Amino acid sequence: MAKDKLPSPTAAVFILIVLSCFLLFILSIPEVDRQELLKDRNKVTSETILLNLSNIEIDGYDGYSRSSIDYNTFNLNSDYSKNKYLQEDKVQLSANLFQSYSYEFIYNPVISSDYLFSSIEFTVSDTNSYGKLYIRLNGNIISEVSPVEGQKFSIVLNKIDQVNGNNLVEIVPNYIGLNPFNKLNIELKDINYVENYVGSSNVHKNSFYIKDSTTVSEIELNFLSKSPDYGPKFSIFLNDNFINSFNRDGEYSLNLNQEYAKVGLNIIEYRLDSKSDIEFILPKLFLKSERQFKSDFYSFEIDDRLARLIVNNRLNCMLYSNSNSEYEIEINGNKHQINNYQSYSKDVCDSFLFGENKLRIISGEDITISNLELILT
């Protein structure tokens, strides 16, 4: 009688080894991968609350704060501070059809921070009125006058024609007529070269203070100027930096270059650049600053396990909010607009990042959000 063969232990041992290795593999991998491998989706259905906020008060103004300073009305007038330099007590000028005898001198302006412009002054003491006078600066005609006995002239030497260093001024007679036997005769006296500087009434200063220049995004100056003179010219400076010039009355809204602003005391300077009298009515300064969202920034973490579940579409990232106002929720730079929803919900998984995440609430007005939640389900 044949004996029954016993099962070979080799197969059983092999199966046992395979099962043990598989068990060790399952136990060694992260839980989320183990659940994915075993298709056990029921184990990730519990909620994870990332944020749970209530009664959030937002001071809006579109993400910015705006403050203002009112200044008093003031006047500027043209009481220049002048330095006069006598060139000649008296000169004789003449011209006919063929030649002319002119007068000239050289000046070198002393230009400082309060220098405005240069000019020449003279008086016509005698003339037969047979022509005109041309005033030239560095070869360019800057003025043409008809001399009258006893008349005083003050002629501005244009900055545009002026150079650094030596400048040539010529007073040239010009005979008008066809008679070769006639000529123009002019006698001038008290010829002065004048340097005009800012006087005490030519400048007005307003000040403001900045605690932290990194927060200032815009500096705006508003004012109304009125003058009895035609075309008054004045300039605006911030901390001695030129901003702009104006040559007429009007209502102005001027953006001061924030690069010229500094931490601490800042000076706005109004300078009169022409012979005039100007009233500046109630200047007002606006400082627009980037708002510091100290209580409006919120952080939450997405760890490795949650990140894997979100990437594998195993979780929903639900944003819930209750408010009657319009506002914006920004998650890591991704904006979600909420428009007058009493109850709002949206899946925002696409806005999440691995690690630290930031949520910000932005509003154009003062609002209160009764409840805001960010939940993983």
Span 186-222, pLDDT tens digits? 999 999 999 887 665 778 999 998 887 556 778 999 9
In this predicted structure, which of 62-66, 228-232, 296-300, 319-323 has the lowest mean pLDDT?
62-66
pLDDT of residue 171: 96
pLDDT of residue 41: 45
Same domain flag for 357 and 257: no
Same domain, residue pair 148 and 138: yes
Q: Comparing C-alpha atoms, which of 304, 292, 312 is closest to residue 360?
A: 292
Q: Is residue 17 domain-resident? A: no
**Domain containing 49 — which CATH number?**
2.60.120
CATH of the domain at 205: 2.60.120.260
127 part of a folded domain: yes
The answer to whether 305 and 93 have CB atoms below 8 angstroms apart is: no
Q: Which helix (H) or strand (E) holds 67?
A: strand 64-70
Q: Are residues 73 and 209 in the same domain?
A: yes
Query: Do 162 and 310 lie in a common domain?
Result: no
Question: What whole-number percentage of the chain has pLDDT above 90?
Answer: 44
Contact (Cβ atoms closer than 8 angstroms) between residue 196 and residue 116:
yes
If you average pLDDT over every residue of the chain, what do you get?
83
**The predicted structure's pLDDT at residue 60:** 57
Q: What is the pLDDT of residue 43?
A: 46
Average pLDDT for 326-343: 83
Average pLDDT over residues 320-348: 84
Kindly report each contact of residues 364-367 with a partner whose C-beta sits within 8 Å and lies 24 or more positions away, as own/partner: 364/60, 364/61, 364/62, 364/326, 364/327, 365/60, 365/61, 365/325, 365/326, 366/57, 366/58, 366/59, 366/60, 367/57, 367/58, 367/60, 367/323, 367/325, 367/327
Q: Note whether 152 and 119 are same-domain residues.
A: yes
18, part of any domain: no
Last residue of a domain, one of 151, 169, 197: 197
- Average pLDDT on 25-35 reads 59
Average pLDDT, stretch 302-319? 91
Q: Is residue 280 part of a domain?
A: yes
List all residues 6 or more positions away from 58 whose beta carbon is below 8 Å from its beta carbon: 296, 327, 361, 362, 363, 366, 367, 368, 369
Top-confidence residue, 60 or 303: 303
Both 137 and 90 in one domain: the answer is yes
Domain membership of residue 24 (yes or no) is no
In this prediction, residue 32 has a pLDDT band, given cuts at 50, 70 and 90, of low
Measured from the Cβ of residue 94, the count of other Cβ atoms closer than 10 Å reads: 18
Last residue of a domain, one of 197, 222, 255: 197
342 vs 35, higher pLDDT? 342
> Are residues 257 and 342 both part of a single domain?
no
What domain count does the chain have?
3
- Report the pLDDT value the prediction gives residue 19, as an integer from 0 to 100: 73
Same domain (yes/no): 85, 185: yes
Most confident option among 131-140, 275-284, 342-351: 131-140
Helix (H) or strand (E) holding 27: helix 9-28
d(CA 134, CA 148): 14
**Which residue would you say has higher pLDDT here, 289 or 164?**
164
pTM of this prediction?
Answer: 0.37
For residue 341, the model assigns a pLDDT of 62
Decide if 139 is inside a domain: yes
**239-271 pLDDT tens trace:** 999 999 888 888 999 999 778 898 889 999 998
Residues 100 and 186 in one domain: yes
Question: Is residue 12 a part of any domain in this protein?
Answer: no
Which pLDDT score, from 0 to 100, does residue 328 have?
85
Asked if the structure places residue 270 within a domain, the reply is yes
Which of 290, 320, 346 corresponds to the end of one domain? 290
Q: Are residues 269 and 369 in the same domain?
A: no
d(CA 349, CA 316): 7
Q: Check whether residue 178 and residue 139 sit in a common domain.
A: yes
Q: What is the pLDDT of residue 187?
A: 96
Q: Name which residue leads in pLDDT, 278 or 93.
A: 93
Q: What does the pLDDT read at residue 290?
A: 64
Range of the domain at 234: 65-78+200-290
- What would the mean pLDDT of 277-296 be, rounded to a whole number? 76
pLDDT per position as a tens digit, 44-86: 457 889 999 888 887 655 455 678 999 999 888 766 677 889 9
User: Domain check: are 223 and 284 in the same one?
Assistant: yes
